[in-house]
Chains A and B, each alone.
Chain A
């Protein structure tokens, strides 16, 4: 077994060959499916727990407090204690709710984010599915989550939930356009939608360095639009606690509430890893033209550390947004998208297409 932190291809292939050599192809494929599924599921849960803890720490830092600091060292086990509490809580059933839809809604939200996470390249060879339409696939499956939010809000039979669901639906459907257009601008430059090839195209330098000012504009628009798409502050109108109690998940309790909560954090992770993969070079190390010695030192750091460092940087920026900007009104929110971001990203896409056509990018 040739294991290396720099290239996981050999490691995964040796597992594949060992399985195929010892049993029939049917069972080999089944066991591989189970292995990949369980490892992604475990990763999903652990990362969700960590992100909740980190968000509370960042929030505390912004507000000049300490944050969780009693359970475990530096409060590190706080979210695990919270999870146990949520697991033990009673699941309350609403008398006049549509029970089937009410119960199914959290699963739709969480399955949508679970499907998206499978296509993210974590490091070389550490990539569950490498579609030729990678970016398009992630956009497609992450647009399924809104169905769960709408259904959950409606079936609670509660006016706050319904208003929250309608707001979040309008918001997600409109901000999806900007997200798609800004991702498309890098697809135009890279000439492919396959995520592994987009990462590979950034071997010499990341797209944010190679693509001049238009890619910077695309990156900023992507950050704004994707923060809105994940229903996070300052765009968290769907659950605006000062007016709607908790928005679409007002009536959910216990582990079903935790599903919505977890899905929000994982959507943030997915969005941040899209930003990393497309704009910030994925798992490629930081390189500068000409500085050979510096580049070799950077090459020494394993790819997955680069990937997670960049992802956590983007997540930190999104948390920074949440705890520093005041919440927008619904009309301001829709105006921002339809009157400013969408025209800007369309013109920007046109400029980038022109740059790509003339070959002006590096």
Chain B
């Protein structure tokens, strides 16, 4: 077994175990922490694929941004002794069945697919320069339009948030 395989198994098992714990934990802040572990391990998978830029984006946006936001809102709203109510048995059993079917369908379709290593195809460079050129390029493979549309959307939501949060001046 090579180092890469060991690392993959480590990351994959962290992702699986903590994903389940995230949805099954009864304390909301613990769920947030388990979610952090899942997101950081996903970044580890990107590092293994040598896609460093995406891994750093994953850590900054999801682990450093979204999880911090979730924790902030939990800190403002919940108390340390708060617990979720227990799930009714019927509901729990139906959830398990639905998840098992979903897992079976996706795993079996992945296992049946015959993966062949791509031959004669140049691997795409993933360094920051290429990513930046493509993101702001308007020729072939350029993403300038979606990029600008998303920035307008973000600006609109930012202004909306400020207007909602602003106190009435009277």
Tell whether A147 pairs with B63 under 8 Å between CB atoms, given A154-B75, A173-B68: yes
Tell whether A26 pairs with B3 under 8 Å between CB atoms, given A141-B59, A169-B68: yes
Tell whether A132 pairs with B64 under 8 Å between CB atoms, given A98-B80, A101-B29, A150-B75: no
A133 touches B52 (CB 8 A): yes
User: Roughly how many angstroms separate A162 CA and B76 CA in the complex, as a whole number?
Assistant: 10
Closest residue on chain A to residue B53 by CB atoms: A133
* Minimum CB–CB distance for A143 against chain B, Å: 3
B60 touches A169 (CB 8 A): no
Tell whether A193 pairs with B128 under 8 Å between CB atoms, given A96-B81, A104-B33: yes
- Docked complex: B1-58 residues within 8 A CB-CB of A: 1-3, 27, 29-30, 33, 36, 40, 52-53, 56-57
Residues of B within 8 A of A155 (CB): 29, 80
Closest residue on chain B to residue A170 by CB atoms: B72
User: Roughly how many angstroms separate A358 CA and B40 CA in the complex, as a whole number?
Assistant: 40
Closest residue on chain B to residue A156 by CB atoms: B80
B33 touches A143 (CB 8 A): no
- Docked complex: A97-151 residues within 8 A CB-CB of B: 97-98, 100-101, 104, 131-133, 136-137, 139-141, 143-144, 146-147, 150-151
A131 touches B52 (CB 8 A): yes
Interface of A is mostly: helix
B63 touches A144 (CB 8 A): yes
B33 touches A150 (CB 8 A): no
Interface residues on A, range: 20 to 34
User: Roughly how many angstroms separate A156 CA and B67 CA in the complex, as a whole number?
Assistant: 19
Q: Determine whether A253 belongs to the interface, using a CB cutoff of 8 Å to chain B.
A: no
- Docked complex: A18-73 residues within 8 A CB-CB of B: 26, 29-30
A146 touches B68 (CB 8 A): yes
Q: Determine whether A295 belongs to the interface, using a CB cutoff of 8 Å to chain B.
A: no
Closest residue on chain A to residue B1 by CB atoms: A26
Residues of A within 8 A of B71 (CB): 147, 150-151, 154, 169
* Minimum CB–CB distance for A31 against chain B, Å: 11
5 extra interface residue pairs, beta carbon distance < 8 Å, beyond A100-B30, A132-B53, A143-B68: A101-B30, A136-B128, A143-B65, A147-B71, A155-B29
